[in-house]
Structure 1
Amino acid sequence: MTPRNDREVAELLDDPEYRHAALYDAVERLRDIDSQMTASVPFSRGQKILGAIGAAVIIVLLVLFTIPAVAGLVSIATVVYILALIDRLTIFRRGLVNGAIVIPDDEARMIPDDELPLYTVLVPAYGEPEVVGDLIAAMESLEYPHDKLQVLLLLEADDEPTIEAARDMGSHDLVTVVLVPPADPRTKPKACNYGLHFATGDIVAIYDAEDLPDPLQLRRAVAAFRAEDETVVCVQGKLNFHNARDNILTEWFVADYGIWFSYLLPGLMASRAPIPLGGTSNHFLRQVLDDIGAWDPFNVTEDADLGVRIAGNGYRTAVLDSLTLEEANVDAINWVRQRSRWYKGYMQTWLVHMRRPVDLWRILGPVAWYRFTLLIAGTPLIACMNMVFWLIMVVWIAGQPKVFADIFPGPIYYLSLISLIFGNGAAIYMNLVAIREDGRSGLMWSALLVPVYWVMMSVAAIKGMWQMLVNPSYWEKTFHGLATGSKDEADDSAVSDADAGAARATEGGTP
């Protein structure tokens, strides 16, 4: 049953049988539709067999033919690095040239209120009592008729501090609190699936509780759906941070997001490749979301998985030039927790969708399939391999052992040198371009120091891959409310920087 008004929602929230059925569906829907397309089983039987055989072959080769085996592995890794570098630069260039979809303010406001569809915003929150007040203010700032806007604040039923904070705000005609019954897995996608049963909207959006979205974002998304063809069933807004200058970690994080949302995702859109969604500011056509099984409650990057599943069902995602501001992690340990979950989720997503590689190939085509593998599986694996190659470089500089000449045969040595010099140079170049185009030139020095950030990425990737083996569905909570700067002042700065970047984007051209 899909409720169509607040009265029906209230009735369903009071119906224990409906709540029980909604909880079952939130956990089991995707598994009931297609048990192969969920991360509830981390590795399929075939993947376990292939993995065991591959590990056994590598171990035997390393024992019997140590130097040739190491040289072979180094050669394979080096070729993967070069391919990933070429592909990343290609995507970046396309994103720089094409950009995201731009819906001007007057065009967004031009749509008559009576032609706007019903809209539901899902806001999952857990252990975040400090952001409830900001959430309500952010939702009230959205320029969308309140009689067509439903905001569901999804709280775990045993999260007393956040529930109490919501109660302290009093009753609110825009925000409805939905208590999600405690049940495994304790994940954000399970909460979103549960909340979907009380959604009245024809379009469903996701925001995190601490988000500050562009007030016109919902209207821009409606206009984007109208402008695109019927294959576009999801619109992804851009994300960045309001506390960019808190410390060097937040500065690195801002440049990281700038590259990802302003250039790489638009580049993927232009390439018609699968787009791994961000965890917030996604806007979905409700009917298609229901048809493809909504979110996988067992995947810890449910957004990336859903983006790939959208593509795997023959649909597309559009990237919208509309900014949502979040809080960047100011604490390194908290950052590693978050990033390790993302890396683990990327590997979960790749493993799930590679259970039917031939079907995916037929739907995506060879180029998009190749790009999906390099991006979704390559991102965490390359981050792990970085640590190994950095250690090799340190040992080489320290003593130049002769054995290195054997494990880096002639052609591979030069490819490795290209990867070292041009790969790192290209990565720094993309950071510099991103901060320049987004009007954040004050972050230039942190962009030049970004190799230290890559070391943190590698640590997070190794942690995530270990958890993939021992605790795949564990959701590491990211703590918010740690920013040290003034939110209002930083917000003004971030918005002005974003406006400057948007102005540059309309000028066209390349660096």
Structure 2
Amino acid sequence: MNHDPLVREYIQQHPDDNASTFLTLRQKVRYLMIITGVSGAILFYDWHYTLLILNLVVILIYFTAIAFRCAASFFSLSGYGEYHISDSEARAIPDAELPVYTILLPLYREEAVADKIVGAIRSFEYPLEKLDIKLLLEEDDTQTRNVIGQLNLPEQFDIIIVPDGQPKTKPKACNYGLRRAKGEFCVIYDAEDRPDPLQLRKVVAAFRQAPENLACIQAKLNYFNATQNQLTRWFTVEYSTTFDLFLPGLQIMGVPIPLGGTSNHFRTEVLQKLGGWDPFNVTEDCDLGIKIYKAGYLTRMIDSTTYEEANSRLWNWIRQRSRWTKGFLQTHLTHTRSPFTTLRQLGVWGYLGFLLCVGFSSAMMLLNVIYWILAGLYGSLLAWGVWHGDRLWDLIAQHPQRSLNLHSIVTIHGYHLRAWPLIYYGPDQSPFWSNISIAFFAIACFLFLANLLFVTIHILACLHRKRYDLLGSALTMPIYWILISIGAWKGFIQLFTNPFYWEKTVHGLDQLAHSH
């Protein structure tokens, strides 16, 4: 049992909605039944037919998730999916009418960039005397504490030392800051963030226009080092798509919005009522977005951007991506322990949106690389057959014995392989099941068109943000999706081996690149 009082308090407040337990007994039984059923069908019934059904189920999930994401992205082009507060509107609010605003700054091993976020906050167009800034420092992080101690900070900066102990996560630190928050509103910023200097004023103006049940306003996120290398270009295209198109579209569609890890602005009273963040969830932002919707509150987007540092080193990026996937899976498992209870709390439409945004999107990341490998192998064998004189359609859909050139059969260690039987050929290669194989040709075409559609959405995101220099990177995003799958598999494995470990992202690499 963890002796941290805030951790214990959160578990008591959310006994069924925290990630401290990986799988409940009921979930273990449920998943074991599914695995046993599928394994039994493969071993004792007909593995070809079983794999056919599994493929069709996967494609159905793909189709639904892709249609959902595309619909959200296209809806957002209307401009109704976010608050638009002009600079003049923000500045029009008299200083005397501005509320006290709490800023939570969780800093762990951020000695290289800690002074940057402090400087960014000092540049805010918001009265310093109305800021309540919580610097959340870990007890064992002496280097960051030393850097902060040398900055000669004004009294509005309140240093809070988070006791050492497990879990050592950002949400645990934020809960310490939330406990001492004085502001009517509060926001989280990361160490490397460069927020819009008017962002706090814009959010105050938006809350004034909003209904009372609006709990959170999410600012847009993007990157200031977008062109540092090809990885940062792809990362920027992805973020532009997510925060400029997808999340505003979710607002229009009225489904839960998985929050970003920074620049989420809350009504402090509501956030305290919800208990803050799950200290065991490594994507506490996504989890909190679902909890807000469950409790009957709203989340809205605002057209104000916080610029972050895009990961520019591949291994650092994979570690970050693995944490995101692990956290999304934690969130999915946490909120599907009692599916019917969650269905009642979210409603049918909200529950579908939650599944598609969180669980199904994680599954797609895991499955993508498998399907890419199979597609590459299948395509290679098709090319082999065509090169040796076979017709492409015969290779895809016709009975293997129908006038095919024997050269189209590849022999590896005594196994005779053809492109089409690798997917499904039915018992005894019957004409009926051979003709059914055309379904797999249709599936291959669908996956190709789906990828093409995603590339189109990425292009729209670049055009929407006027990042014309990133259009070439948008066209090559399928390469980036393979990297996403690699990171996702790392996170999936770590979910079983080290579920609460926080993969620390190294910041300041853009400065290092410039120094060279």
Query: 1:11 matched to which residue of 2?
Result: none
Q: Which moved more, 1:406-415 or 1:115-124?
A: 406-415
* Residue 402 in structure 1 maps to residue 402 in structure 2: no
* Residue 482 in structure 1 maps to residue 509 in structure 2: yes
Alpha-carbon distance between aligned partners in 1 of 2:41 and 2:292, rounded to the nearest angstrom? 40
Alpha-carbon distance between aligned partners in 1 of 2:512 and 2:11, rounded to the nearest angstrom? 44
Query: 1:207 matched to which residue of 2?
Result: 189
Structure 1 residue aligned with 2:359, among 346, 362, 377?
A: 377
Structure 1 residue aligned with 2:40, among 52, 56, 60?
A: 60
Query: 2:60 matched to which residue of 1?
Result: 79
Question: Alpha-carbon deviation of 1:218?
Answer: 0.7
Alpha-carbon distance between aligned partners in 2 of 1:43 and 1:300, rounded to the nearest angstrom? 16
Alpha-carbon distance between aligned partners in 2 of 1:405 and 1:301, rounded to the nearest angstrom? 39
Query: TM-score, normalized by length of structure 2?
Result: 0.87
Q: After the TM superposition, which segments of 4 or more aligned residues of structure 1 sit over 4 Å from their partners?
A: 484-488
Distance 1:237 1:367, change over 3 A: same
Contact 2:423–2:440 (CA<8 Å) still a contact in 1?
no
Per-residue deviation, residues 176-227 of structure 1 (Å, max 9, x unmatched) = 2211110110000000001112221111110001100001111111111111
Q: Which moved more, 1:272-281 or 1:364-373?
A: 364-373
Structure 2 residue aligned with 1:419, among 443, 446, 452?
A: 446
Question: Alpha-carbon deviation of 1:357?
Answer: 2.2
Distance 1:411 1:89, change over 3 A: farther
Structure 1 residue aligned with 2:232, among 250, 259, 264?
A: 250
Alpha-carbon distance between aligned partners in 2 of 1:103 and 1:357, rounded to the nearest angstrom? 39
Q: Which stretches in structure 1 are left out of the alignment for 5+ residues?
A: 1-20, 489-511
Query: 1:184 matched to which residue of 2?
Result: 166
Match runs of 1:350-369 below 5 Å: 350-369=332-351
Alpha-carbon distance between aligned partners in 2 of 1:356 and 1:135, rounded to the nearest angstrom? 41
Match runs of 1:10-409 below 5 Å: 24-64=4-44, 65-97=46-78, 98-399=80-381, 400-406=419-425, 409=436
Name the aligned partner's letter for residue 64 of structure 2: L
Name the aligned partner's letter for residue 207 of structure 2: F
State the aligned residue count: 467
Match runs of 1:441-460 below 5 Å: 441-460=468-487
RMSD (Å), alpha carbons: 1.9
Contact 2:104–2:189 (CA<8 Å) still a contact in 1?
yes
Contact 1:100–1:262 (CA<8 Å) still a contact in 2?
no
Distance 1:230 1:171, change over 3 A: closer
Name the aligned partner's letter for residue 242 of structure 1: F
Name the aligned partner's letter for residue 450 of structure 1: M
Name the aligned partner's letter for residue 484 of structure 2: M
Alpha-carbon distance between aligned partners in 2 of 1:206 and 1:430, rounded to the nearest angstrom? 29
Name the aligned partner's letter for residue 157 of structure 1: E
Alpha-carbon distance between aligned partners in 2 of 1:60 and 1:486, rounded to the nearest angstrom? 54
Distance 1:292 1:401, change over 3 A: same
Question: Alpha-carbon deviation of 1:442?
Answer: 0.7
- What is the SS of the residue equivalent to 1:478? coil
Name the aligned partner's letter for residue 477 of structure 1: K
Q: Which moved more, 1:444-453 or 1:291-300?
A: 444-453
Alpha-carbon distance between aligned partners in 1 of 2:227 and 2:511, rounded to the nearest angstrom? 9
Q: Which stretches in structure 2 are left out of the alignment for 5+ residues?
A: 382-418, 427-433
Alpha-carbon distance between aligned partners in 1 of 2:268 and 2:205, rounded to the nearest angstrom? 16
Q: Which moved more, 1:479-488 or 1:43-52?
A: 479-488
Question: Alpha-carbon deviation of 1:283?
Answer: 0.6
Name the aligned partner's letter for residue 495 of structure 2: M
Q: Which moved more, 1:24-33 or 1:447-456?
A: 24-33
Query: TM-score, normalized by length of structure 1?
Result: 0.88
Query: 1:440 matched to which residue of 2?
Result: 467
Question: Alpha-carbon deviation of 1:321?
Answer: 0.5
Contact 2:104–2:135 (CA<8 Å) still a contact in 1?
yes
Q: Which moved more, 1:183-192 or 1:113-122?
A: 113-122
Name the aligned partner's letter for residue 45 of structure 1: L
Contact 1:95–1:270 (CA<8 Å) still a contact in 2?
yes
Larger Rg: 2
Per-residue deviation, residues 102-151 of structure 1 (Å, max 9, x unmatched) = 11111111122222211100000111101121111101011111111111
Name the aligned partner's letter for residue 187 of structure 1: T
Per-residue deviation, residues 248-278 of structure 1 (Å, max 9, x unmatched) = 1000000100010011110011111100000
Sequence identity of aligned pairs in percent? 39
Question: Alpha-carbon deviation of 1:474?
Answer: 1.1
Question: Alpha-carbon deviation of 1:424?
Answer: 0.6
- What is the SS of the residue equivalent to 1:137? helix
Q: Which moved more, 1:180-189 or 1:388-397?
A: 388-397
